[in-house]
Structure 1
Amino acid sequence: MTETLAEKVEAVERTASPYHFAMVEPSEFDVVYEINPWMATTDRPDRELALAQWRTLVDAYRAYGHTVEIIPGVPGLPDMVFAANGGLSVGGIFYTAKFSTEFREAEGPLHAEWQKANTSAKVVEATFVNEGEGDYIALGDRVLAGYGFRSTIESHRELEAVAGREVVSLHLVDSRFYHLDTALCVLDEARGLVAYFPGAFGDESRATLERLFPDAVKVSAEDAEAFAMNSVSDGKHVFHAGAAREFGRIVEELGFVSVPLDLSQFLKAGGGIKCCTMTLRD
């Protein structure tokens, strides 16, 4: 069962902040290779249904006042729909992704070119392997950073140097939760409130999370497996997997508005709401 301090802490008045997102059209989305435990080439997504689910997510963001930039899909890059993996926008820079797998290595340069053409961010080319917002979560003057499966700890130190922010390294140990954004999400950026699945992290990293976020929501394995942590919050509205019902109930108890969505076709590739969403920051 999901553990929360909801019984000890009164739900506060939550305030939404407008966000600027970039998303990649799922016109090329498919499962034609297997690079995480969720993927099976024998269980490919229904592309028409995937497009409808993706459009529902875009519409939900816009309905709640957020700006969404649409990047066209690219033939031969079925996972580019997972825009969050393309890099990290923080503090006026865009730190590019550098994929280790040949299947996705072309995505990093394409996102970098899009940033140069469409934003004012200074593009910084990564030297070390990392998968962008998949493993980097900006929170206040820190960046939470995952390693163990996709991003290297060396990339954390490089990001720390180029962004001028503390980077907190968190060790991921369960291959089902291969990116940090499948194991942890920010619920209220202004208050530093997060939710996470403890079982995704090594012992030392769990201790770090306990120290940094004593009021965090800790989700159950059942909700984590439904991709509850692959959520996006604007500080009031939490866009989350509809299958994570207990998580939806908990966030409402804490004063948020639950916005459940079905991205079941993307889960077949090990992705969800946050995976499809890159945050553009000044």
Structure 2
Amino acid sequence: MNIFKVLLSIIFILISPTASSGIVKMKISKKLYILSGKEYGTNIGLIAVENGLILIDPMPGDNHLSELDQVIQSIYNKPVIFILNTHSHSDHTGGNKYFEGKGGKLLKGDIPLEGFTHIRVESHSSIDNIFYHKESNAIFVGDIFDTSWHPTFYAGGIKGFSNAIDTILNMGDDQSLIIPGHGVTANKSSLIEFRENTFAWINRVRELYHKESDLEKIMADTQLKNILQKFNASDKATFIPEKAYKRFIERTISVIDNEESLQQAH
């Protein structure tokens, strides 16, 4: 087991998650919980402030949202007053309307919340919002970093991904907790390893792509498969289905083509 997996295991144990009707509750501090579970495994931030609660990335699913609300009220018994999204994909925004209907205000653009730092980057999507909550020393990074899947840097390409990771590493301190879009929480050491593995993946795909046009042969490369397994933080027996593996290679090649075209243009 590599350092990344060991650190994730330790953090997961220390947080001591508890389940409630399929929704996992992880108490980070008196003022911060991470909720996850159901269909997408989206990590949902729940932060207690003076007048209510801040909800980050409420999951979708009409038949799950009342249950999520019940879990929230069982923890704090306060209203959700603000809603934040790390990006616009439905597995992170699907619950917005439900909680807006109960009085929550969806904040877009600049986030004028005391104790929060908000920076926009482009990596997983065209607008990725990174939120740092100083009091809990926690950084919400959305799908820029996912400890349950392979990296998805398609919108920002290699440059955008690199900038996003540097931005996260420059927030908080060495003890900051990093909350990925999906999967177990992590720290900066594991994020650095994730970045190194991502660059190793891109470089190996580039090397194979320039030598070999047969996608099936690229997929069969032992070194590439070994790199892919480094993203398998939870040691799942079946981590990435064959179809998703192929799609990951294809989309990585597309990113490489785009960036090489830009370099030639300049």
Give the TM-score band, short-chain normalised: 0.3 to 0.5
More helix by share: 2
TM-score for both structures, normalised by structure 2:
0.37
Structure having greater relative contact order (Cα 8 Å, sep ≥ 6): 1
Q: Larger C-alpha radius of gyration, 1 or 2?
A: 2
TM-score (norm. length: structure 1): 0.36
